[in-house]
Amino acid sequence: MSSIHCFSVAIGNTQERYACRPDQTLLGGMEQLGRKGIPVGCRGGGCGVCKVRIESGATRCERMSRSHVSADEEAQGYVLACRAYPQSDVALRAAPRLARCIERHQARTLSHP
């Protein structure tokens, strides 16, 4: 039995990096390792809070609701992290609307350790 190769996932907003299996969603892999950076919601493609933009690397996506990811956004690389599986090492960023919250939170955490 061959062991499953993990891909490395880098979150641009928080400089976090974690290992994710190809049969694990980007969100699931992050949560399993207790990492932060992608907002966690329903985990089932229903709420849209986990939207991220893939900046480099390949992912395989399950069907995503057009109310959360438009065709345009999909073409620009946006996916729902709870519906996307890494197919290579991946670099991503949380969607801009939420990225601001994360970066603010991160700045607060850094200034008040």
Nearest residue to 26 (alpha-carbon basis) of 55, 48, 52:
52
Give me the least distance between CB of 41 and ligand FES, in Å please: 3
Q: Contact region for ligand FES (CB under 6 A) — 45-53, 55-63, 70-78, 90-98?
A: 45-53
**28 binds ligand FES per the rule CB under 6 A:** no
**Which tokens in the block code for residue 84?**
């996307």
Q: Rule CB under 6 A: which of 57-96 touch ligand FES?
A: 80, 82
Query: What is the rounded CA–CA span in Å between residue 73 and residue 75?
Result: 5
**Which residue, 26 or 110, has its beta carbon nearer to ligand FES?**
26
Nearer Cβ to ligand FES (50/54): 50
Q: Applying CB under 6 A, does 43 fall inside the site for ligand FES?
A: yes
Q: Is the dihedral of CA 28, 33, 39, 40 positive or negative?
A: positive
Least distance (Å) from ligand FES to the CB of residue 78? 12
**Cα 74 to the chain's mean position, in Å?**
14
Which one, 3 or 81, has the nearer CB to ligand FES?
A: 81
- Strand ranges for 1-112 from DSSP E: 7-11, 16-20, 51-56, 59-61, 78-80, 84-86, 90-94
Task: Please report, as ranges, the residues that interact with ligand FES according to CB under 6 A.
Answer: 40-43, 45-50, 80, 82
